[in-house]
Amino acid sequence: MQTVNDIDFKGKRALLRVDFNVPISKGEVRDDTRIRRALPTIRKILKDGGSVALMSHLGRPKDGREDKYSLSQVQSVLAGLLSKPVTFVSDCVSEAAKSQVSGMQPGEVVLLENLRFYKEEKAGEEAFAQSLANLGADIYVNDAFGTAHRAHASTSVIAQFFTEKCFGLLMADELKNAKHLLEDESKPFTAILGGAKVSDKIEMIENLLDRAQHIIIGGGMAYTFVKAMGGAIGQSLCEDDKLELAADLLKRAREKGVEIHIPVDSIIADSFSETAQTDTVPSRMIPDTWLGLDIGAEAANDFVKIILSSKRILWNGPLGVFEMEPFRQGTLAIGKAVAEATKNGAFSLVGGGDSVAAVNMLGLQEQVSYVSTGGGAMLEFFEGKTLPGVAAIA
């Protein structure tokens, strides 16, 4: 796997695909984590005596150019983190953009406008990819793990137009840690899967049945399993069309000797509200008009014991409605347990927005082995799929 560390960028212009899809509110970047994670690659290119043009998407613009999705809002944050000027170009394939990129001098940083202002980006159109490749850069670098699962113009199609191409340090780090988690032989391997829908995690669960010893299920998706096992789940989230599948997954897990753990108890509420009346009941005995919004204390204790005995841990998704204070205790208990297990020698990888948010809230970022920047990409990697953004360079 060739990375920027294998190349001397002296006098070279790099076209670097980053993932600056950061949360922005009222024109201000609310979380600069993804920007910070791209800095080592940018600095390596500049230290060599190269220059760099950055391209990224931001949000999901529907009608071409929308100011609220302009990457101009990232410019000052990036400049501050790099402690150097960043030139913003209000397009990504115009003559102005081409002039700016082709004219870059060593040490210069250029930030191009949102790629998704062009529908051709998501469509993976070759002509658009070639326009990006024709901006005047000498080498293509992909450091956007968060979009590596998309066959978009800037993430996979563009690579064919460059003789020199490589991975950035973040992309390489993401792949190294994900592969380590899957390929290491240390046991037990525990996967903690949360979130709303079983349908989002089916392929991941199926792939993990051949690798994990324990699969902990939490979040809204747990109630599809509870109902499939004959439990009463009230108004809890449930995919009725996936009940047969859930039962089949439980059966296949038993046959393979894999333990799937479903919460024995739940914190329930009489409405989906932070101020709702709450109670704790067995997960299979939720009253008709109530709904489960978090794992209960008994389930949390069960899960913590499993985590603390694990040698490898994958955590993807919250165990409850983490956004609401009364229903985040299960997720926080899991976060602390993952950190403690890591301290005791386990290898832990955390990915997926809300599980990462829990780790950040607890200040445990440095107490787990690795925090992934890619939700969808990480999910597809653990489903056993080939990531287009990786295949284009590897």
Distance CA 300, CA 181 (A): 24
Distance CA 96, CA 109 (A): 15
> Which residue(s) pair with 15 in the sheet?
53, 140
Selecting among 59, 107, 353, 384, the annotated active-site residue is 353
Contact of 267 with 326, CB cutoff 8 Å: yes
> Which residue(s) pair with 142 in the sheet?
17, 167
Selecting among 107, 231, 376, 384, the annotated active-site residue is 376
SS3 state of residue 89: strand
- What the block records as the tokens of 348 is 């832990």
Smallest Cα–Cα separation from 366: which of 333, 339, 394? 339
Is 34 a catalytic site residue? yes
- Count CB-CB contacts under 10 A for residue 60: 10
Handedness of CA 119, 121, 127, 128 (dihedral sign): positive
Is 122 a catalytic site residue? no
Distance CA 65, CA 94 (A): 14
Smallest Cα–Cα separation from 311: which of 187, 214, 219? 187
Placement of tokens 């003559």 in the chain:
95
Establish whether the linkage from the previous residue to 282 is cis, with ω within 30° of 0: no
Distance CA 317, CA 29 (A): 24
Is 47 a catalytic site residue? no
Distance CA 312, CA 108 (A): 42
Residue 280: phi and psi, rounded to 5, are -120, 125
Distance CA 255, CA 245 (A): 15
Selecting among 12, 17, 34, 165, the annotated active-site residue is 34
Is 64 a catalytic site residue? no
Smallest Cα–Cα separation from 248: which of 198, 306, 313, 282? 198
Placement of tokens 């956004």 in the chain:
323
Placement of tokens 């293509």 in the chain:
140
Selecting among 197, 211, 252, 385, the annotated active-site residue is 197
Supply the residues annotated as catalytic: 34, 197, 353, 376
